[in-house]
Structure 1
């Protein structure tokens, strides 16, 4: 029998005594509108069955993490903005226990799990309730004895915030009293020389200003009139975000990737992004040869915080913190290298490295954010959300990556064998989401069902990665 639990957060400790509502961040408003509605799915795979995971865990460990998990989004007609309003939560409204046939193989249950994620991805979260759900999949898959799916609306926070929230209710499997360890931030930049000339610094500043304006101009065009070519991964039809997804995952060993980064003097992100773009190009060429020279762009999400690891949720909620809760990211438009314009597989890594370095070190993201803020004040959040929607729709694919713990985690003494995530509501036919966990980088491919074959694409991405690995090991850069 299901345990019914009702809980209400002590709002007097969190909200203003006269007005319990708090404003929704601008990005949060853009991501939950009539135009655009994005949700994140974090999937935890367990070493042991999850049949006995109690619903009381939600009330005890999940709800207290952040007041937004006990709030709904409402329209403030007086000020024309959306606000978070605390409400009473019935945990049973957010807890799901799907049933499937008994006696299937692990591979068949894996397919059931991915089909189930695709199904709930097509279902909008009710706006009358807090914007999250927890789904318990009590069947063994290829990588676990059972799985738990957290469905979280993107308006609650970005991947950094929501992963930080999940980590706060998990423990180290080997010793719960010890904190989880996150990988140190990696940089491929060389230390600056103390005697760098003033002239050189001025030239660098001028170059940064110029590239900032150029990238800002391109971003504006991509939110309006400039779009990618139609290819085997990008359809001309509207409403892509409402179509079923085919989902698959693949894994890369971090120690192997680090051999590449050491030889090429690039980052893990450079390597895996380059490998995915090369694999996608190879897939496109296989499906339609002329698409190898098409104009295609990958839209990457850049976290705009000064990240040196995850902070506790209580730290994120403090005013003026360097790593605040919420949505703090910008879009990076990354032109995908063309097969007929590259000499070898490493060109994809080096071009990715140069592009990411340029975009991260200029002011285009800041300028875009300022423009959206002005737009919101002039034409409102709904119309501004359309600009964000067009920015995504006009690109060919989206990519996002997060860092996870070095040590194995556990939930209520249930060890977690694997971790991956994906996103729904994106107006693109292909998204790739990556997260690291215990020495492995897990990639989730979510592709429009019937348009893209994710299993075939996975083969090409693996082949691209293998080519890059072999070339990097033999290189002398």
Structure 2
């Protein structure tokens, strides 16, 4: 990467530099499943008139400063370089195109985005699969923004199917009555135990996070190969769908949150797969790295609001992480998965009752100031590599959408470039929850893992 004069360049946020370095490079792939055959004649006009104006980062490349660090530099964008339409034999079966699509997605995840042009691409797979009449894949580098920012950008290109003039809406944010003390009904002394418990949890969780990021790694297991360079190897993506109404029924029955239910399902499916793959693996130590947004999200803001100075929900990367141990599966939990959901609730509740999330962010900033962004990126890489899997989720709209008058049947996303054998991502859309499992090819059996998740 060549050095540039610093005038007319936009500073690159520290987090963006962490996610695009010599050590770590993360990319997000968003798949839109289209209900009708794709007419791609409107692709270039849509990108020119809607997508590029969303944020100038979509028309910028990453350059190095003479003083160190990186900045964004505006460039002319040749849109044809960013639109790829793969060609396969015609008149084949949906099973054939399913295999072609899966292989294409795997190869696409391994290919690095060219640094001499803006860090995004659109791939249009025009062949019918079992799930859709065609697929549109948005490939965007994570340095452009976090899931909230990039989803907001994509939603700017999409419209409500029933009435394009009405904005999309999103599930209301869950309120948590226990999230803080009630100043009107309790005295200060009654909150002392809660305060002390929070301090203890903060010290324990923060110390545990530091140790697991730097020194302690999970055991090798049926879900963690420990292979060097696993982030550069081939992977397989498989998905499963749950009804949000079913998730809510479990939530209400156990008096927990929707996130608790989802986490419990993932933990149960993961442990069940491990046990079926190797009975002895039930004793192995496994940790899930749960990625959390630091935004108080109640719905997506418009992109024009996100890029304003001092915006309430600004554009960029705003996330942190927590180490959540995956509990061992007992005989009673094997026969009653709801018990593991309740256990997941207790684990996450202890994590919530601490300030470790905030301290982790401050610790990363301290590393950057003392040792630079490359060292911080290395720390994040080690954090990912030492854990068994990563979990991240994004909230989608409750109405069906259309892209240039093409109805969207479903959508999901995956993060690639992660030094793990397994990553799980979750995205809600209309009344369904899509869980995506990205697994190391040849090490984890995707079909068996999917069946364990659906068990």
TM-score above 0.5: yes
Preserved CA contact (<8 Å) 1:305 1:322: no
Q: Which of residues 138, 152, 157 in structure 2 aligns to 1:164? A: 152
Q: 2:400 aligned with 1:408, yes or no?
A: yes
TM-score of the two chains, using structure 1 as the length reference: 0.91
Q: 2:20 aligned with 1:32, yes or no?
A: yes
Q: Which of residues 319, 327, 334 in structure 1 aligns to 2:324? A: 334
Q: How far apart in 2 are the matches of 1:453 and 1:60? A: 43
* C-alpha spacing 1:261/1:413, structure 2 compared with 1 (3 Å): same
2:171 maps to which residue? Answer: 183
Aligned-residue CA RMSD (Å): 1.5
Q: How far apart in 2 are the matches of 1:52 and 1:392? A: 38
Preserved CA contact (<8 Å) 2:94 2:130: yes
2:50 maps to which residue? Answer: 61
Q: Which of residues 76, 81, 85 in structure 2 aligns to 1:97? A: 85
Unmatched tracts of structure 1, length 5 or more? 1-17, 464-477
Q: Which of residues 180, 185, 188 in structure 2 aligns to 1:195? A: 185
Q: How far apart in 2 are the matches of 1:187 and 1:291? A: 38
Q: 2:272 aligned with 1:282, yes or no?
A: yes
Q: Which of residues 428, 432, 439 in structure 2 aligns to 1:436? A: 428
The answer to which of 421-430 and 211-220 deviates more is 211-220
Q: How far apart in 2 are the matches of 1:187 and 1:256? A: 20
Q: How far apart in 2 are the matches of 1:311 and 1:248? A: 30
1:308 maps to which residue? Answer: 298
2:30 maps to which residue? Answer: 42
Q: How far apart in 2 are the matches of 1:453 and 1:438? A: 29
TM-score of the two chains, using structure 2 as the length reference: 0.95
Using the TM superposition, give the Cα deviation of residue 319 of structure 1 relative to its aligned residue in structure 2, in angstroms. 2.3
2:447 maps to which residue? Answer: 455
Q: 2:226 aligned with 1:236, yes or no?
A: yes
Preserved CA contact (<8 Å) 1:188 1:266: no
Cα distance per residue 1:42-101 (max 9 Å; x no partner): 0011111113342221111111111110011111122x2211111111111111000112
What is the total number of aligned residue pairs between the two structures?
445
The answer to which of 173-182 and 348-357 deviates more is 348-357
The answer to which of 218-227 and 101-110 deviates more is 101-110
1:173 maps to which residue? Answer: 161
Q: Any idea what SS the aligned residue of 1:57 has?
A: helix
1:74 maps to which residue? Answer: 63
Q: How far apart in 2 are the matches of 1:49 and 1:209? A: 57
Using the TM superposition, give the Cα deviation of residue 342 of structure 1 relative to its aligned residue in structure 2, in angstroms. 6.3
Q: How far apart in 1 are the matches of 2:352 and 2:309? A: 25
Preserved CA contact (<8 Å) 2:217 2:386: yes
Q: 2:353 aligned with 1:324, yes or no?
A: no
* C-alpha spacing 1:186/1:58, structure 2 compared with 1 (3 Å): same
The answer to which of 445-454 and 352-361 deviates more is 352-361
Q: Any idea what SS the aligned residue of 1:252 has?
A: strand
Unmatched tracts of structure 2, length 5 or more? 1-5
Q: How far apart in 1 are the matches of 2:131 and 2:354? A: 41
Using the TM superposition, give the Cα deviation of residue 347 of structure 1 relative to its aligned residue in structure 2, in angstroms. 2.7
Using the TM superposition, give the Cα deviation of residue 341 of structure 1 relative to its aligned residue in structure 2, in angstroms. 8.1
The answer to which of 378-387 and 49-58 deviates more is 49-58
Using the TM superposition, give the Cα deviation of residue 25 of structure 1 relative to its aligned residue in structure 2, in angstroms. 1.3
Cα distance per residue 1:154-197 (max 9 Å; x no partner): 00011111011101111001110001011111245458653123
Q: Which of residues 401, 412, 420 in structure 2 aligns to 1:420? A: 412
Q: Any idea what SS the aligned residue of 1:230 has?
A: coil
* 1:141-156 equivalent positions in 2, closer than 5 A: 141-156=129-144
